[in-house]
Structure 1
Amino acid sequence: MDWLEFGLALAAFLGSHILPSRPGLKGALVARLGRAGYGMAYGGLSLLLLVWVIGAAGRAPFVVIWDQTLWMRWLANLAMPVAATLIVLALGAPNPLSFGGRATGFDPARPGIAGVVRHPLLWALLIWSGVHLLVNGDLAHVMLFGLFALYAVLGMRMIDRRNRRLWGEGLWITRASGTSNLPFHGNWHCYRPALWRIALAAGVWIGLLHLHLPVIGVSPMP
């Protein structure tokens, strides 16, 4: 039964992320709820399903693939502030090259966070899933975080291919010229993030650190 719950939760979470790729269904929901209402509803649903699938993975039968060691926990705690910072710097920032960013105000010569890495939210997901995969070496969590990591990597390629097709090669090259899928391989030297975003990222990380035990049921501390 525990494997059944994990399978249902995983299918529901992955299925919910098919929604943004269906323009007709998304358009109908945006028309009914408004763009802000759709964003809040979809974000809330995604968060609830994420909590469910992580909880279901913890309740699934424990099948060890590798053992956890102390250095893995230290690495996870060092990596998570980076993931939190990428999320806060990306949301609402000018970046038509990836989701989570806005098209208005984007300057290819000064690409902002996109100059640090083209897909900051997907890189945040990759960092989060990668370190959690490392510290959770049982079968259910390897499946869960492995799928998240694969989704992040494939998502970068899929978004790039879609933008090339929609914009045409010339406009794609112009907009993406100062960016890269590899961190710090684009035009990042002129980027100066707002101090309030850095402070907010620190607050998000501290909040996640303190909520991990009561919400997930496991302390993240080494």
Structure 2
Amino acid sequence: MTILALGLLLFLGVHSIRIVADPWREAQIASLGRNVWRGGFSLLSAVGFGLIIWGFALARGQGSQLWLPQPWARHITILLTLPAFVLLVAADLRGSRLRAAVRHPMLLGVLLWALAHLASNGKPADLLLFGGFLAWAAVDLWSVRRRDRLAGTPPPEVKPGRDFKVLLVGVAAWLVFGLWLHGWLIGVRPFG
């Protein structure tokens, strides 16, 4: 589980810089330039993400069951991941009312995804992976909302027709991932 923990520390650590050291981050961007900062951020994120995938694959079956998921937990996971996918799409497809209302839909989507997966997985690696993302998303969501309030950030602009696109793409991505990709990539078929 060491590789998984290392990957989470790297990936979530890089993504937590604004939470714990925003002035330092701004100074680095001013010193290095935005493109160099983004390149380094992307490289460290990719390495961390790769370590998470590798580490979870290695640690997934290790350890005793910490809790036994209830038979209905699978259905809760499936249901919670649907809005998580819609929120993730809303984060990238700007202009929807959902994005304007939530403001940071990716963080809320990650939070729902992690919570959903904790409901139906009870091994130590599951707790580390999904619990780590859940805790990070909750803290980052609190932090970014606080930052927005202090800065007086207005809600994002809403564009006609975007809500339908967000919903359509989110549901389609959820179906494709649940029916085919999750089984192929992770080895678990959520829909059967």
Structure 2 unaligned blocks of 5 or more: none
Corresponding residue for residue 11 of structure 2: 13
Amino acid at match of 1:199: L
For residues 52-67 of structure 1, what are the structure 2 equivalents within 5 Å? 52-60=51-59, 61-67=62-68
Task: Give the whole-Å Cα distance in 2 for the aligned partners of 1:93 and 1:194.
Answer: 10
Aligned partner of residue 146 in structure 1, secondary structure: helix
Q: 1:212 offset after TM fit, Å?
A: 1.2
Task: Give the whole-Å Cα distance in 1 for the aligned partners of 2:58 and 2:145.
Answer: 37
Amino acid at match of 2:26: P
Q: 1:203 aligns with which of 172, 179, 188?
A: 172
Task: Give the whole-Å Cα distance in 2 for the aligned partners of 1:57 and 1:23.
Answer: 33
Task: Give the whole-Å Cα distance in 2 for the aligned partners of 1:164 and 1:202.
Answer: 31
Structure 1 unaligned blocks of 5 or more: 95-110, 180-190
- Is 1:68–1:135's contact at 8 Å kept on the other side of the alignment? yes
- Is 2:114–2:134's contact at 8 Å kept on the other side of the alignment? yes
Q: 1:128 offset after TM fit, Å?
A: 0.1
Q: CA RMSD in A?
A: 3.1
Corresponding residue for residue 77 of structure 2: 76
Q: 1:74 offset after TM fit, Å?
A: 1.0
- Is 1:119–1:156's contact at 8 Å kept on the other side of the alignment? yes
Q: 1:131 offset after TM fit, Å?
A: 0.6
What fraction of aligned residue pairs are identical, expressed as a percent?
26
Amino acid at match of 1:23: E
Task: Give the whole-Å Cα distance in 1 for the aligned partners of 2:120 and 2:176.
Answer: 20
Number of aligned pairs? 179
Please state which structure has a larger fraction of its residues in helix: 2
Task: Give the whole-Å Cα distance in 2 for the aligned partners of 1:51 and 1:213.
Answer: 19
Amino acid at match of 2:183: L
Task: Give the whole-Å Cα distance in 1 for the aligned partners of 2:190 and 2:47.
Answer: 20
Corresponding residue for residue 154 of structure 1: 139
Aligned partner of residue 212 in structure 1, secondary structure: helix
Using the size of structure 2 for normalisation, the TM-score is 0.75
Corresponding residue for residue 23 of structure 1: 26
Corresponding residue for residue 184 of structure 1: none
Task: Give the whole-Å Cα distance in 1 for the aligned partners of 2:36 and 2:166.
Answer: 32
Amino acid at match of 1:129: A
Q: Which moved more, 1:196-205 or 1:118-127?
A: 196-205
